[in-house]
């Protein structure tokens, strides 16, 4: 038999509880009504005091009896009755089985003291002038105000501020103490000095402020006792409130508070998320971010889970940063902290990692989680993410911009082996500088380095440019050469009006158009230079297309004075009237000085230029063996061009490379040990024609793959490929060997850069480049500047 139980919870008590307590809006109205009743009762007490005249009474009777008019008595009785009924009803609705818990509460006892005597006077008219301490209702008003604020936050569904509540409690407590002391002293002194309310207010302010003029003093002992009691209460209550307020203030200073919604809607800001904020990371970001003139009005909100250290706090107190940088202690994985930072209104979010992280995979995992959290919370916010390990890039492919430090570092090291100082050039371009570093140094190279560090990449429309307007219709090579010769600027790329891609050094076949955007390297942008467009147009009427002889730049020119190096051509009057080409100097002029650079064509001539298809096999030395190889009897190895069949990690970019027809056995990759395929045990035995590139690293990480790829890129001729030897402290795993076994002339050996025998075995005496990579195990998280200590000592020992 199925038994069903029905229970009706809509009883009269439940309905009252729903209206008075559970319902947020109705409960807020009840709290507001109760607060108004308490304030009204205090106001009626003040009115009664102002209308009363204690001079008609003598002795102690003024303390017990007062003069209360009938209308005033009626209002006070009405207010007390309503307040008492409300208190009893709320106590009944909140009753949970323990009646003494409801009765002994201080608010309930104060309500009984202030309301019951008025109820008694209804039935006993002789007691209508009995003194009742109605001014104690100020404490009930304080209690009602606190409840009302809590209900208000619940009704509007906002998280209440602990600081706001604590300040409110402190102010209301102080006002209640002063009001209680004023009313108590004034009433007790009815039998003494007959003080008014203003005199009592003056006495309380002078006493509580510890000034104590002594012109107004209590006369009778009850008022003196009340003063002692109120001072003791103030000395106990106020320090506790101040201590709590100071604690909340300190905690708020640590957490950083909130970034206001009004400021987020009226001002632009970006959010910087980091796991731990180091002073170097902070200053690098702020200096580079605010280097752009359009970002001067942006705010930077830092969201970090750790507390600010002393150095960061000191820097953020500098006026230049204190007005624009806001520090919030919180986690990007919490929606509440992202809401505090107003991530949904941010112009961009930067998620960065420290370069000197000891556990780099763990740092990447935290970065990935932060990226996911930010993307879920604010999907429209542009995301800039710094990752350390290349194998973790595919986890954040949704980010707008991803920079992999290890991938970029190894690629720069590889390019340094091909073209020395490539990494220095890139570093100087991406690093913002005024070009004033090292100017006080006695070394000339430091001065030159400092001046060139001020170079930046700028862009301008060709038809609006003084530097490049005259080269419209000319080849890119011609424009780049003569702009560098004439103005000292370096044209590195262009962008078509209908294309978003930037063409870096497109070559002599690219013809400059008036709508092209020119990207150039210079110490300052053209708009800030000393060249005047009107003067340039006047000169262009005389000779628009050609420039003869060395440059005659004004001394006051900003560009010419900053040490931009330009290769000076001889005065080669090699312009031919028959065509837009530059003729080579004749053999007869051997007595003259030879030009340092060959002349550059104005417009590409198909008869003078070979077709350059980068994806095709154009090099003769890569299809057939050279005569020298045949005459020497060397074994000729033919390479393929294609994409590596295996990559060490997911998400690696495919690159067209020189590859072997068949992968090399793993045993043959070991340089220092012979196998059944060869018996060589050192680099000298291999007899490499080209010099070796040695890479000393702790482990065969996935970043080493990005070092090998540029050195085996398809555009490099086969005869220029250098053997690569990886000197590893720890043996590589099979996945890494499987990825590199398709590349020609790539070997490894287990050893240390500290061991001279290992260096000689790997061919240090035959090496063209020695690349030493930081060891992650020796990085010190406590002191960032010591992260490269081991590498520096090893390099100095090597040389």
CA distance 340 to 330: 9
Work out the number of other CB atoms within 10 angstroms of the CB of residue 23. 15
Q: What is the pLDDT of residue 617?
A: 40
- Angle at which helices 221-255 and 162-188 cross, to 10°: 170
Tokens of 548: 């003869």
Q: What is the pLDDT of residue 553?
A: 33
Q: Count of residues for the chain? A: 799
Which DSSP state fits 511? B
Q: What is the pLDDT of residue 277?
A: 87
CA distance 479 to 493: 11
Question: What domains are defined for the chain?
Answer: 14-252 (no CATH), 256-399 (3.40.50.720), 455-562 (3.30.70.1450), 621-798 (no CATH)
Do the strands 299-304 and 325-329 form a parallel or antiparallel pair, or are they unpaired? Answer: parallel
* DSSP assignments along 665-734, one per residue: PHHHHBSSS--SS----SHHHHT-SSPEEEEEESS--THHHHHHHHHTBTTS-GGGPPPEEEEESSPPPH
363, 353 Cβ separation under 8 angstroms = yes
Q: What is the pLDDT of residue 57?
A: 67
Q: What is the pLDDT of residue 716?
A: 86
CA distance 170 to 619: 85
For the chain (799 residues), the mean pLDDT of every run of 10, in chain order, is: 51 79 79 90 91 74 85 91 88 75 82 89 88 90 85 62 75 89 88 84 84 81 86 84 77 67 83 90 90 88 89 88 89 90 92 84 92 94 92 89 89 88 83 76 81 84 90 92 90 88 87 92 79 51 40 30 28 36 37 46 48 38 48 58 83 83 89 84 87 90 87 88 92 89 92 87 88 71 63 73
Q: What is the pLDDT of residue 602?
A: 60
CA distance 699 to 733: 9
Residue with the two structure tokens 């990752």: 387
What CA–CA distances, in Å, run from 87 to 39, 64, 140, 152, 457?
16, 27, 11, 20, 75
CA distance 466 to 526: 8
pTM: 0.66
């Amino acid at each position: 038999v199925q038994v069903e139980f029905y229970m009706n919870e809509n009883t009269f008590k439940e309905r009252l509880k729903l209206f008075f307590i559970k319902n947020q809006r109705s409960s807020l109205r009840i709290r507001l009504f109760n607060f108004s009743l308490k304030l009204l009762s205090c106001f009626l007490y003040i009115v009664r005091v102002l209308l009363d005249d204690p001079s008609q009474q003598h002795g102690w009777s003024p303390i017990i009896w007062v003069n209360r008019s009938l209308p005033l008595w009626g209002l006070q009785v009405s207010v007390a009755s309503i307040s008492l009924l409300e208190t009893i009803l709320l106590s009944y609705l909140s009753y949970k089985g323990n009646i003494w818990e409801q009765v002994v509460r201080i608010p309930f006892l104060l309500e009984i003291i202030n309301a019951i005597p008025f109820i008694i006077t209804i039935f006993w008219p002789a007691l209508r002038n009995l003194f009742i301490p109605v001014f104690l209702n100020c404490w009930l008003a304080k209690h009602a105000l606190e409840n009302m604020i809590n209900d208000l936050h619940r009704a509007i569904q906002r998280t209440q501020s602990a600081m706001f509540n604590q300040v409110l409690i402190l102010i209301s407590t102080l006002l209640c103490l002063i009001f209680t002391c004023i009313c108590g002293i004034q009433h007790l002194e009815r039998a003494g000095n007959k003080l008014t309310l203003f005199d009592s207010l003056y006495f309380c302010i002078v006493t509580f402020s510890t000034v104590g003029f002594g012109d107004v003093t209590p006369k009778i002992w009850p008022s003196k006792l009340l003063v002692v009691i109120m001072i003791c209460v103030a000395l106990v209550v106020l320090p506790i409130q101040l201590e709590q307020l100071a604690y909340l203030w300190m905690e708020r200073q640590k957490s950083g508070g909130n970034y206001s919604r009004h400021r987020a809607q009226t001002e632009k800001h970006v959010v910087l998320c980091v796991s731990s904020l180091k002073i170097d990371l902070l200053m690098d970001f702020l200096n580079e971010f605010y280097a752009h003139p359009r970002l001067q009005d942006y705010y930077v909100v830092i969201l970090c889970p750790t507390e600010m250290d002393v150095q960061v706090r000191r820097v953020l107190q500098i006026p230049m940063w204190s007005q624009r940088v806001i520090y919030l202690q919180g986690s990007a994985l919490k929606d509440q902290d992202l809401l505090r930072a107003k991530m949904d209104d941010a112009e961009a979010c930067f998620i960065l990692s420290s370069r000197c992280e000891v556990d780099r995979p763990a740092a990447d995992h935290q970065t990935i989680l932060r990226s996911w959290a930010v993307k879920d919370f604010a999907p429209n916010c542009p995301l800039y993410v710094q990752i350390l390990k290349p194998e973790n890039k595919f986890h954040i492919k949704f980010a707008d911009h991803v920079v992999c430090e290890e991938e970029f570092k190894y690629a720069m090291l590889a390019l340094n082996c091909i073209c020395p100082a490539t990494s220095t050039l890139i570093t100087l371009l991406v690093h913002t500088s005024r070009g004033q570093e090292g100017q006080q140094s006695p070394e000339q190279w430091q001065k030159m380095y400092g001046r060139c560090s001020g170079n930046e990449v700028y862009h301008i429309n060709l038809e609006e440019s003084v530097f490049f307007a005259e080269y419209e219709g000319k080849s890119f090579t011609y424009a780049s050469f003569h702009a560098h010769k004439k103005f000292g600027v370096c044209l590195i790329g262009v962008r078509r009006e209908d294309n978003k891609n930037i063409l870096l050094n497109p070559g002599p076949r690219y013809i400059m158009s008036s709508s092209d955007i020119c990207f150039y390297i210079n110490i300052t942008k053209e708009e800030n230079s000393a060249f005047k467009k009107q003067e340039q147009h006047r000169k262009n009427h005389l000779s628009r297309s050609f420039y003869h002889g060395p440059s005659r730049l004004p001394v006051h020119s900003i560009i010419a004075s900053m040490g931009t190096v330009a290769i000076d051509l001889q005065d080669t009057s090699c312009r031919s009237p028959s065509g837009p080409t530059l003729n080579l100097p004749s053999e007869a002029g051997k007595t003259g000085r030879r030009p340092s650079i060959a002349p550059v064509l104005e417009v590409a001539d198909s008869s003078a230029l070979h077709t350059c298809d980068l994806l095709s096999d154009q090099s003769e030395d890569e299809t057939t063996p050279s005569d020298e190889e045949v005459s020497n009897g060397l074994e000729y190895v033919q390479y393929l061009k294609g994409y590596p069949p295996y990559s060490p990690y997911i998400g690696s970019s495919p690159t067209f490379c020189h590859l072997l027809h068949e992968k090399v056995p793993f045993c043959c990759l070991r340089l220092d040990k012979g196998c059944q395929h060869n018996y060589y045990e050192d680099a000298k035995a291999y007899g490499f024609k080209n010099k070796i590139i040695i890479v000393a690293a702790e482990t065969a990480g996935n970043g080493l793959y990005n070092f090998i790829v540029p050195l085996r890129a398809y555009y490099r001729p086969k005869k220029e490929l250098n053997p690569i030897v990886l000197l590893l402290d720890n043996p590589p795993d099979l996945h890494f060997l499987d990825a590199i076994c398709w590349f020609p002339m790539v070997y490894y050996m287990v050893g240390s850069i500290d061991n001279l025998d290992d260096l000689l075995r790997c061919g240090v005496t035959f090496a063209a480049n020695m690349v030493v990579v930081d060891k992650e195990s020796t990085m010190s998280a406590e002191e960032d500047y010591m992260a490269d200590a081991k590498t520096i000592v090893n390099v100095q020992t090597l040389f």
